[in-house]
Amino acid sequence: MGIATIGTTARTGEICPTSGVWKSMDNPSTTAPIAKGNRMPPHNGKAVTWKLIQLA
């Protein structure tokens, strides 16, 4: 398996591919620390795409 890099994206409900700080790609956006293996959360009650902005 490859290592996830900055800019990697994951959708709500998917398994987080790498620990780090993720930014939601909705408006208004938010950032959240999410650990590898956890499910990507919803934001504002809806499914969103998250983008990795900082590795843990």
Domain residue ranges of the chain, discontinuous segments joined by +:
9-55
Phi, psi angles (nearest 5°) of residue 21:
-95, 125
Q: How far apart are CA 56 and CA 51, in angstroms?
A: 14
2: confidence class by pLDDT, cuts 50, 70, 90:
low
Quote the radius of gyration of the chain (alpha carbons, Å).
10
Token couple for 43: 């934001």
Q: How far apart are CA 49 and CA 11, in angstroms?
A: 4
Strands 9-11 and 49-55, by their bridges, are antiparallel
Tens digits of per-residue pLDDT, 3-37? Answer: 779 999 999 999 999 999 999 999 999 999 999 99
Looking at residue 12, what is its pLDDT? 98
Looking at residue 4, what is its pLDDT? 78
pLDDT at 1 over 60: no
pTM listed for this prediction: 0.92
Token couple for 11: 């959708």
